[in-house]
Amino acid sequence: MNIKFQNLGLTDYKKTWDLQEKLFDEILKAKLIGSNDMPENKLLFCQHPHVYTLGKSGDKNNLLLSEEFLKQKQASFYQINRGGDITYHGPGQLVGYPILNLDGLGLSIKDYVFGLEETIIRVLKTYGISGERSDGETGVWLDIKNKHKARKIAAIGVRISRMVSMHGFAFNANTNLEYYNYIIPCGITDKGITSLQKELGREVDVKEVEECLLKQFEAVFRVAVL
């Protein structure tokens, strides 16, 4: 199975959300009418200017900033249609948006989310870091069994309708972690946030990380990203 890849670079959150919706609707409509000519599956990579997004089941009280302070921090806020609570996106964070027909890939929702986590866990392994899952919490974590050290390095939040996916993952590479101080990330109060840069003690080559993510995505989902 081939997946069409596009790297959007640093791009506005709302503009990217609108593009996702367009691609998502194209696949969904084709499925609903039983078309034999399905639109391509897509994988978008990007980074965003500072923005906080709140999932449909989230609590706005987990945003600890006033509108005025948001402006001071040059950050935007959107309440969106993915699962999960509040998260942050910003420069240095690698965001992946797979818009996929999961039926065509033979994936259940559970398998899909597991695969996104597995992709990031494998990327971390190439850097000598042991990524883990946390029972009952999506995303990828470090030292999850140590309640004093457990910290999140990648968030996952998806929307799936009629087995078509959108939204995806956010992987902290060179992310400015200060911006997490202004939210309760994913509504979780007892664990921290980290980045690849912080764990390695050096800035990472973003292009290198993107290439590693693509390679591992292909391996985990058994697809060709073109």
CA 14, 20, 24, 26 torsion: positive or negative?
positive
Distance, in Å, from the CA atom of 77 to the CA atom of 138, rounded to the nearest integer, reads 22
Tokens 């400015």 -> residue: 176
Q: Work out the angle at residue 63's Cα, subtended by the Cα atoms of residues 164 and 25, and round it to the nearest 5 degrees.
A: 20
Q: Which amino acid is at 131?
A: G
Distance, in Å, from the CA atom of 181 to the CA atom of 179, rounded to the nearest integer, reads 5
Active-site annotation holder among 186, 193, 196, 212: 186
186 is catalytic: yes
Instruction: Please answer whether residues 20 and 99 qualify as being in contact, where contact means their C-beta atoms are separated by less than 8 angstroms.
Output: yes
Quick one: 185 exposed, middle or buried, by C-beta within 10 A (0-12, 13-18, 19+)?
A: buried
Among all residues, which ones are annotated catalytic?
Answer: 186
